Chain A
Amino acid sequence: MMELVSNLWSIPLIVIIPLITAVIVNAIYDKEVIKYISIASALITLGISIISPYGYHWFTGHPAFDPNTFTFTFDPGIPAFRLSLEFVYGPIQQIMIVISSLILVFCVILATVGLTKRQGPYMATIFLLFASAAIIIMVNDLYHLWIAVEIGSLIVVGVVVASGTSISHKAALKYAFFSAISGAGLAVALALLLGITGFANVSDIIRIMNTVGISGMEKILYISFGFFILAWMYAGGLAPIHPLKSEVYGASYPHATAVLQAQSKLMLVAIGIIMLRIFGTLPFIKEVMIFLSVITMILGVVLALIQIDFRWIIAYLIISHSGLVTLGIALGTKDGIIGGVFQAVNDIIYMSVLLFCCEALYYFGGATSTKNSFGIARKSPWLCAAVLLGAFAAAGMPPFNGFQSEIILIQASLNSGLPEIAVIILMVSITTLIALLRAIYRIFLKPPEVEVLEAKIPKAINFGIWLFIILTIIIGVYPDIALRFIIPAVEGGFLP
């Protein structure tokens, strides 16, 4: 059993440093120093998440006050004074926050060396996005989960609007309206669970349900589950609301999309595991989650096939691969959850490779459409090699990381008696490769129909692309590097 620290120092820092940075860069919105503050802040956050031990932190909460002994107690039989709003930092939180912090570092660097001058408010939204994602993955109470989801959704709107096009404004508006509904739904779910158990803390809710039993609570639990599903769909862009999220991904700058997709994966894992913990014993819950996951996988990859822009192909593939993450969690088995969380980590990494490659294409005059061929491989063979490697990783080919997580998911599906889902996972992998290779051939390899300008890609983009490619290969060859965080957490019940 892992040793846990109470009131862990690092948990507030992981949240507060990005928040303070957001306030500062917003206040000095047009100063050059924003660049250095942002990069330093992102690096500090990364460092803290690496060196931090595991443990808990109480926020505006405390153990129950026992009126008989005048002492604090963890006895769930005393409901009224136990708020129990807590954050947990364990192995799963560590690996996901470290990877997200790494993406934050490169996102911040790319935002400062980008094609247009980006001011403080844009940088502030990037940091707030990271903060909301970190809260969501660490939280162990529904109150903070709800707040983080609400804040995260508003920040997503801000990031999309910052792209400044007509499409981005429309995408932001649609996303804002739906997030208003799903956020309110999550608040209703919180209210209902608070009403029937007296607690907002997830562990306490489960303890009450196990102690008192769920007889008579089923209807309320199913209604709460419905609202949770709504929030889950919205968080990851699961079917049938995948068009909203894909528009958000496609309408943002690629480096911002890298952080957005990382936030989505963290939300999917956190909300999915919380749903499994609270509602997992009810009939038909897992079936509903599996159904949504499979539909999302299929719809996402099919829609990726018919897109004519590399950005939108990646956007729909992110949606499709979100289905792989949720599928693992929805299976509810040990292997399934390990595969789902591992897939989330891998997905964040290889999608970042593709998104950074897409960002590099902007330096060739925005040559992301597959309607014309640009022959970019002649001008930048290394970029072509990088995007091909990213595509192989996304398609789950060995020796890349995608292969390792998908093979676990396939095994988990077979062990759960669902061979048809294993076949669907394989089909999604193959279709992913086809969708990406089609676009790569048109943009990079086919003799040019449209001449593009010579471009000097910033070193930061090249460094980011190759760093993440190396990560995909290292994790692909040595999966234990990631699995040694995930397996003990799942086996020891040390989940968010």
Chain B
Amino acid sequence: MIEVTIQLLGFIAAALLIVIGIAGMVFLDNMIKKIIAFTLLSDGVNLLLVAIGYIEGGVVPILLPGMSITEFTMRAALVFPIGIVLTNIVIGVSTTAILVALVIMLYRRYGTLKASVILKGERR
């Protein structure tokens, strides 16, 4: 029997977000919905990283007065995944901004948000 832990729930939720995000980006026709799907995908990756860094009964990774080094190394949550999450948030915002800017440019040119219309009939 698999024990249901907070970490496991985090992994499941992250996997769901990632799958929904990728499916949305691939199958949805509306550009804005595709961008929203991308934010779900990005959130799923963040949740996966947070879940990896989570330690049951852990402490924040700051060496507090009275705490032994050994106890600290055993119980401190992993800091690196949190650093990656911060980076991913920045990258996610940048990517979203660029996507929105491109969609605005193409909307002004074609008057629609439908990917099937905008990307159809390209001429070289």
Residues of chain A having any CB pair with chain B under 8 Å: 67, 78, 80-81, 83, 143, 147, 150-151, 154, 157-158, 161, 166-167, 169-170, 172-174, 176-177, 179-181, 183-184, 187-188, 190-191, 194-195, 198, 200, 250, 308-309, 312
Contact = CB atoms under 8 A, between A and B. Distances in A.
Given A67-B70, A150-B91, A169-B106, A191 B99 contact: no
Contact of B49 (A161, A191, A250): A191
Given A154-B98, A167-B124, A172-B102, A180 B84 contact: no
Given A181-B25, A188-B48, A190-B84, A173 B102 contact: yes
Interface string B44-76: 110011001000000000000000011011001
B4 interface: no
6 contacts: A81-B73, A170-B122, A181-B25, A183-B95, A184-B42, A195-B52
Interface in B100-119: 102-103, 105-106, 109, 118-119
A154 B52 CA distance: 27
Interface of B: 18, 21-22, 25, 31, 34, 38, 41-42, 44-45, 48-49, 52, 69-70, 72-73, 76, 78, 80-81, 83-84, 87-88, 91, 94-95, 98-99, 102-103, 105-106, 109, 118-119, 122-124
Contacts of B31: 173
Contact of B25 (A147, A177, A190): A177
Given A143-B84, A191-B52, A176 B18 contact: no
A161 B73 CA distance: 49
Contacts of B88: 187
Contact of A180 (B49, B80, B99, B119): B99
A35 to B, nearest CB: 27
A71 to B, nearest CB: 12
A150 B118 CA distance: 25
Nearest to B118: A170
Nearest to A81: B73
A158 B44 CA distance: 26
Given A169-B105, A187-B45, A187-B88, A180 B70 contact: no
Closest 6 CB pairs of A and B: A67-B69, A195-B52, A173-B102, A187-B45, A150-B91, A180-B38
B109 A157 contact: no
A312 B109 contact: no
A250 B44 CA distance: 34
A13 B22 CA distance: 38
Given A67-B69, A181-B22, A195-B52, A250 B99 contact: no
Given A158-B98, A180-B25, 11 more contacts: A67-B69, A67-B72, A143-B83, A150-B91, A173-B102, A173-B118, A180-B99, A184-B38, A187-B88, A191-B52, A200-B80
What secondary structure prevails in chain B residues at the interface with A?
Answer: helix
A147 B106 contact: no
Contact of A174 (B91, B109, B119): B119
Contact of B87 (A147, A177, A188): A147
Contact of B124 (A81, A150, A309): A309
Given A81-B73, A154-B94, A194-B80, A177 B118 contact: no
Given A191-B52, A309-B124, A312-B124, A176 B41 contact: no
Contacts of B21: 184
Contacts of A167: 122-124
Contacts of B44: 184
Contacts of B52: 191, 194-195
B124 A83 contact: no
A308 B124 CA distance: 9
Contacts of B49: 187, 191
Contacts of B25: 177, 180-181
A128 B99 CA distance: 19
A308 B123 CA distance: 12
Contacts of A312: 124
A154 B105 contact: no
Given A173-B103, A176-B102, A187-B88, A83 B45 contact: no
Nearest to B47: A191
Given A67-B73, A80-B73, A170-B106, A176 B84 contact: no
A412 B42 CA distance: 41
A157 B119 CA distance: 16
A274 to B, nearest CB: 17
A381 to B, nearest CB: 29
A190 B48 CA distance: 11
Nearest to B97: A154
Contacts of A81: 73
A190 B83 CA distance: 13
